[in-house]
Structure 1
Amino acid sequence: MSQEKSPIIAPVDERLPISKSWIFSLQHVMAMCAGAVAVPMMVGTAAGLDHSSIVFLISACVFMAGVGTLIQTLGLGNIAGAKIPVIEGTSFAAVAAMTSIASSQADPSIAMKMVFGAVIAGGIFCMLLAPIFEKLIRFFPKVVTGTVVLIIGVSLLPVGIKWITDNKVQAAEPKNLALALVVLAITLLLFKYLKGIWNSAAILLGIVIGTAVAGVFGMVDFTSVKEASWFSLNVPLKFGMPIFDPSAVLSLCLIMLVLMTESLGNMIAIHEMVDKEVTGKNIKRALLGDGISTTISGIFNSFPITPFAQNTGLVGLMGMKSRYVGIYAGLMLLVLGFIPKFAALVGAIPKPVLGGVGFAMFGMVSVGGIRTLSKVQYDGTKNGVIVAVSLGLAMIPLANPDFYNNFPSWVQTIFHSGITTGSLSAVLLNIFFNEIGKKKLSNNDEKVTQKN
């Protein structure tokens, strides 16, 4: 009797026992936690929320990171979800636009209602656009995606610098600068000497060690950790019914285009790493997953959900292709989202400590953009002009935050973010130089061919 051959299981669908994969899953959680809590801290501070409310936001964002990760790794049938080991979280790319919306209102409650209204609308916009976005891929070549990622990294670097001065534009305290530099030095040493999967945990370990050093010198206040409860629920619409302000909604919808472009790049990269074919359907399901997660996120007091770039790199570093690593990581994040003490503990980290690792954490985003741009052809093209002009326009609000103050409020909301400005410029200039020019060249070639 011939034995029946067992079906071949693709590496991405290989079921792994938790006893074997927990370390890989924990590594993903460790790699993304610092980034996951930074967004609610920045937006909450811009809105003028008290510390307990910011702790709640952090818990909500960790909870939604788990939900988004599970949607992408488990999938929602054949409708949405990439079913690859992708780790989702609150995106840095939307920070500038959301802080602009939040800081425009004196009442913190109204500010958060406007932010969440824009997030919900942005998620719906992403779902509507997902089916046709695959057809627009030709408008997002490497010169555009690389420029966008570079601009995101450069735009976030000032955030790390402001952390050293406690989110204020002022002279740095010598002790705060010293702490940030010590943390940066520790992180660099960890990057140099840690091996294997622990090397990618250098940023989180740098934060832990830096916080311990700060504690020795009395620079950490754990009062909020003691006061925080051990368990809480993420109540939907905690701040009230969302407000759908037109200019705020437009701003987030434009940002969602950027996020979808960034997400597309991460999704394609992970597909290639785990040997899963990149198809239009897979891309559509992935972007639908982001849209659904973002819509739910706005309802559950969180922000746009997209893949985390640092975790994309971690997939390649670990060589673990199974999406079950992502599933277990999503479950971990989901559980941590119910524990306010975890959120309070993260919120108690001194900002100069975050500033120290911020140079590496945000700088690596810029490096990702540079790496992509290094594959772009510049000789005989105008791609250099696209990058140069887009980067220059993106620097306007960074160099002068008050640059657009004399313009209508909707202009301020959109262009206050250098990321939005630079991204729009990259897309439009690519169409102008590469798409339109290519069509004209093709027509001329056809005429020459006909003549010959």
Structure 2
Amino acid sequence: MNGIVDETVDPTDQILPARSLALFGLQHVLVMAAAPITAVFLVSKALDLSDALAVSLISATFLVCGLGTILQSFGPGGFGARLPFIMVPGGAPIAIFLAIAQQTDIQTAVGAVILTAVFYFIALPVFRRLLKFFPPIVVGTMLLLVSVNLVKIYGGTITGKAGTPGFADPVNIGLALLTIALTVIFARVFTGMLQRLSVMLGLVAGAIIAFALGHMDVSGVLAGPVVAVPHLFPFGMPTFNLVAAIPLIVFSIISMAEATGQTIATVEIVGKPGDARAIVPSTIRGDALVSLVGGLFGTSLIITSGENIGIVRATNVKSRYVTAVAGAILVLIALFAPVGRLAASLPGPVVCGTAVVVFSIIGVIGIDLLRRVDLREHGPMVTLAAALSMGLLPILVPGVYSQFPHWAQMVLGNGLAAGTITAVIVNAAFLFGGLHEAGSSSHAEATGAEG
């Protein structure tokens, strides 16, 4: 094509010049890079993983995200949408993964990821029938609980454990607050693509300041092998516990609904001809396969990201070859060991400050969904109140169900699961009892909600 855009070709099939492919692909990578770094940092700190295991997990996460992005871009054999999608570890799956690991062990959490990936395939033929149980009031509540839970976890990582010598160290808290402030400043001052990179820029600026203050040690970044090869089953063989997997399985239905909205929105933005809904199963099969592979490498669910929809809209670059190149860059990052060691060396307060912003945004998305529901009506008001009661209780009062049977702890003690399941049950009781119609709209309203 010699760099000339052929308007007779499907916009997603346009092949740009190599330089443009590389630059636009790198742009996608920069926007999503904070997600895998913060996700692995949280898991490694919360579960007290060794530095070597944390570096391996960062490498594995980037690798699976890259392979998944390539899969969604090319869509071989009906696995992948053949659309400009980027794949990331979702915020909600990370929170649920961590809760399962803390309630049981990490092998069970990995087993839950694999069971959930298999459930995707089983539920795909009938998932449309399940959508009526996950209207905006349910999804909005879940996202709000995700935000509260993760901000609490990351905030605790910033302060450290009460009673320890370094608890609430003003320097650590100051670095976290400074990172948050810089992120907000960049979002306000910059426009266009730099504005979309404000989270990543805040992370980088915070790390530079921490380094200047002597709170970031990069001496080991260039030590060790140059090539990183992630290992299968880094935590040992998974343990399969269906009860423990229930929270992730519940989330997977919401994820499928989000994939539906994201696929339809992306098809409209890129102007791809044909029926958008016919592409949805391919998107979901791609999510399922990539999450299954991620489970084998010890990650949580890896799902399509709604963030890149905004990038496609802003740049008007619709080619799936751009995201395929982004996937290739992610794979190269995964295999280049110093990058993993650099990510692992980032100061905890800086990473956590970035994460607090990212996951607070998830809460804002949840509030926006709840705003679409008339909470003055009795049914929606009781649904939200009941869901927040059951969801916030185990988040804010850890151990509240510690004397309950173990199987009950795995569901009730997981605030995201308890709150979401409560919202589904109470909403259905009012809805099918004919007492209110709120929240019965299509789940497509939840387009762009984070998983």
**Does the pair score TM above 0.5?**
yes
| 1:237-264 Cα distance to aligned partner (Å, 9 max, x none) | 3443322134333343233334334444
Unaligned runs of 5+ in 2: 1-5, 438-451
Larger displacement relative to structure 2 (339-348 or 322-331): 322-331
- Following superposition, the deviation at residue 379 of structure 1 comes to 5.5
Q: Which moved more, 1:339-348 or 1:8-17?
A: 8-17
2:211 matched residue in structure 1: 215
Q: Is the 8 A contact 2:74 2:82 kept in 1?
A: yes
For 1:353-368, what aligned pairs fall within 5 Å after superposition? Answer: 353-368=350-365
**SS at the partner of 1:89?**
strand
- The structure-2 alpha-carbon separation of the partners of 1:50 and 1:211, relative to structure 1 and needing over 3 Å to count, comes to same
Q: Secondary structure at the match of 1:306?
A: strand
Equivalent residue number for residue 96 of structure 2:
97
What amino acid is aligned across from residue 387 of structure 2 in structure 1?
S
TM-score by length of structure 2 reads 0.87
> Judging changes above 3 Å, is the alpha-carbon distance between structure 1 residues 386 and 251 closer, same or farther for their aligned structure 2 residues?
closer
Say which SS state the counterpart of residue 320 (structure 1) adopts: coil
* Aligned residue in 2 for 1:9: 9
Q: Secondary structure of 1:352's partner?
A: helix
In the alignment, residue 201 of structure 1 is paired with which amino acid?
Answer: L
CA displacement at 1:21 relative to structure 2: 3.5
Residue 166 of structure 1: CA displacement? Answer: 4.3
CA contact (8 A) 1:148 1:258 kept: no
- Choose from 262, 269, 283 the match for 1:266: 262
Could you list the structure 1 runs, at least 4 aligned residues long, displaced by more than 6 angstroms after superposition: 167-170
Larger radius of gyration: 1
User: Hey, what does 1:57 align to over in structure 2?
Assistant: 57
The alpha-carbon deviation at position 23 of structure 1 amounts to 2.8
User: In the alignment, which of 152, 174, 179 is matched to residue 175 of structure 2?
Assistant: 179
Partner of 1:142: 136
Q: What does the per-residue CA deviation read over 1:16-64, in whole Å, with 9 as the maximum and x for residues that have no partner?
A: 3332233332222112111112222222333332111111011101111
RMSD: 2.6
Taking structure 1 as reference, are residues 169 and 411 closer, same or farther at Cα in structure 2, changes over 3 Å only?
Answer: farther
Identify which range, 251-260 or 178-187, moves more after superposition: 251-260
Q: Deviations over 1:258-295 (max 9, x none)?
A: 43344444334333433446644322221111111111
What runs of 5+ residues in structure 1 fail to find an aligned partner? Answer: 1-5, 106-110, 441-452
Q: 2:141 and 2:275 mapped to 1: Cα distance?
A: 23
* Superposition map of 1:124-139 within 5 A: 124-139=118-133
Q: Which amino acid aligns with 1:163?
A: T
Aligned residue type for 2:63: F
Change over 3 Å in CA distance of 1:153–1:41 after alignment to 2:
same
Distance of 1:375 and 1:322 partners within structure 2: 33
Kindly state the Cα deviation for residue 438 of structure 1 after the two structures are TM-superposed. Answer: 7.5
> What TM-score does the superposition give when structure 1 sets the normalisation length?
0.86
Amino acid at match of 1:101: I
C-alpha displacement of 1:215: 0.8
Please identify, of 163-172 and 181-190, the stretch whose mean Cα deviation from structure 2 is larger.
163-172
Is the alpha carbon distance of 1:399 and 1:40 closer, same or farther for their aligned partners in structure 2, counting shifts above 3 Å?
same
Residue of structure 2 equivalent to 1:88: 87
Q: What is the CA-CA distance between 1:224 and the residue it aligns to? A: 3.6
Question: Per-residue deviation at 1:161?
Answer: 1.4
Structure-2 separation of matches of 1:399 and 1:169: 19
Aligned-partner Cα distance in 1 for 2:413–2:254: 15
CA distance in 2, matches of 1:70, 1:91: 18
Secondary structure of 1:426's partner? helix
Percent identity over paired residues: 30
Quickly say closer, same or farther: Cα 1:168–1:290, change in 2 above 3 A: farther
| 1:91, distance to aligned residue in structure 2 (A) | 2.0
Structure 1 residues 197, 435: closer, same or farther in 2, change over 3 A?
A: farther
Q: Paired residue for 1:450?
A: none
Distance 1:253 1:74 in 2: 27
Q: CA deviation at 1:191?
A: 0.8
Alignment partners' CA distance in 2, 1:27 and 1:163: 30
Matched, 1:250 2:223: no
3-state SS of paired residue (1:186): helix
